[in-house]
Amino acid sequence: MREAEEIAQGSPVGACRLGRGFLELRIEEAVPDLDRPLVLMCGGGTRSLFAAEDLERMGYHRLYSVVGGFARWKAEGLPFDVPPRIDPNQRERYSRHLAIPEVGEAGQIRLLNSKVLLIGAGGLGSPAAFYLAAAGVGTLGLVDHDVVDRSNLQRQILHTDARVGSSKVASARHTLEALNPSVEVRTIEARLASENVEEILGGYDVVVDGSDNFPTRYLVNDACVKLGLPCAHGAVYRFEGQATVFWPGYPKQRGPCYRCIYPEPPPAELAPSCAEAGVLGVLPGVIGLIQAVETIKLLLDLGEPLIGRLLCYDALRGRFTELELARNPQCAYCGEHAIFPGYIDYEQFCSRAG
């Protein structure tokens, strides 16, 4: 007769864990025989007494309520067990996670209860979301305002040829739900702007930044700093990629934010031009998955996050190098005595590449 949270703490061995909320709906299926004796138990003995009255009206007549409830049962050292908190289906699906002591059942449950927001369902967001869904991250939010273009399919593996022209977040949801139906995919078909960035990012545990433009990168950074969220950052260009984790609020090691490293985006005349764009299709797979690995590490508090380190991958040389990213104590956003200066909507002049 207890709530789900109480039941999770344990029940007498062999008990039907029905709970009070759905008792009347579920009792007939659990105990079809009205003549069977029923022992009702709650936390302390009161709710079970009221439940007995309800069951009596339904036709059950051999009813017993346990005085002192589960609290007394446990105090008297009577046998109880904790219900399996992942179901057999999940146990099979995540068996290779359960086999790793660092993840195990507790870690898997943590992943199942986690919420990750992916900025962009494109080159970086596709592999990251794909593997995070496979790993059993319970809620995946996807922010993208674009539609699938045939030129995306060279690297954006969530999408398909048949979905060219449809919304990217809808296409992504299709693929992710097919892989793991238990993942809750939240689609946010919007362009991030100062007006909506906090509302969209709020409530998530980790943000994965796979955006393709400076205006979004700075908005995401500034909102993550303000909300105290870790940001798994990745960027790719032709044959080169970079990944790091920005999280000034990390309790174990205070790292920099994006603005500590690059206080302002490049002005128009010094940014790489649109004509120079292009990326090896496989490269965002490498970088997006480093972001996904870092995300899992953050969610499970495992190992050493890529905080304060920029991991650079040069695909042509086949070389990874690591650069130190230092905090800037004078940073306008995350510095010692910084007062949040507000969001900035940098405007982009480059028209969409075809």
Partner 1 sequence: MSRVTVRIPTPLRPHTGGADEVGLEGTTVGEVLQRLGAAHDGLLARVLTAEGEPRQFVNIYLGSRNVRGLEGMATRVSDGDVISIVPAVAGGAHKSQRTSARRA
| Residues annotated catalytic, as ranges | 274
From residue 243, give the alpha-carbon distance in Å to each of 60, 123, 225, 295: 63, 14, 18, 12
CA–CA distance, 240 with 283 (Å, rounded to integer): 8
State the Cα–Cα distance between residues 114 and 30, nearest whole angstrom. 32
| SS3 call for 126 | helix
239 binds partner 1 (CB under 8 A): yes
Strand pairing category for 139-143 and 115-119: parallel
Q: Which stretch binds Zn ion (CB under 5 A): 61-69, 112-120, 296-304, 334-342?
A: 334-342
Which residue has 């008990």 as its token pair?
15
Q: Helices 168-179 and 125-135 sit at what angle, rounded to 10 degrees?
A: 30
Q: Is 277 in the site for partner 1 (CB under 8 A)?
A: yes
152 binds, among partner 1, Zn ion, none (CB under 5 to 8 A by kind): partner 1
Q: Of the candidates 200, 260, 298, 299, which one interacts with Zn ion according to CB under 5 A?
A: 260
Considering only residues 244 to 273 of the shown chain, the ones binding partner 1 according to CB under 8 A are 261-268, 270-273
Give the CA diameter of the chain. Answer: 84
Question: Residues 167-206: x/- map of binding to partner 1 (CB under 8 A)?
Answer: ---------------------------xx-----------
326 touching partner 1, by CB under 8 A: yes
Shortest separation between residue 191's beta carbon and Zn ion, angstroms = 24
What's the rounded Cα separation, in Å, for the pair 262 and 244? 14
CA angle 295–266–122, rounded 5-degree value:
40
Distance CA 84, CA 91 (A): 10
Residue 336 interacting entry, from partner 1, Zn ion, none, C-beta within 5 to 8 Å by type: none
Q: Which does 181 bind (CB under 5 to 8 A by kind): Zn ion, partner 1, none?
A: none
Residues lying near Zn ion in the complex (CB under 5 A) are found at 257, 259-260, 331, 333-334
Residues lying near partner 1 in the complex (CB under 8 A) are found at 120, 122-125, 151-152, 155-156, 194-195, 209-215, 217, 234-240, 242, 261-268, 270-274, 276-279, 284, 310, 312, 314, 316-317, 321-326, 342-350, 352-353
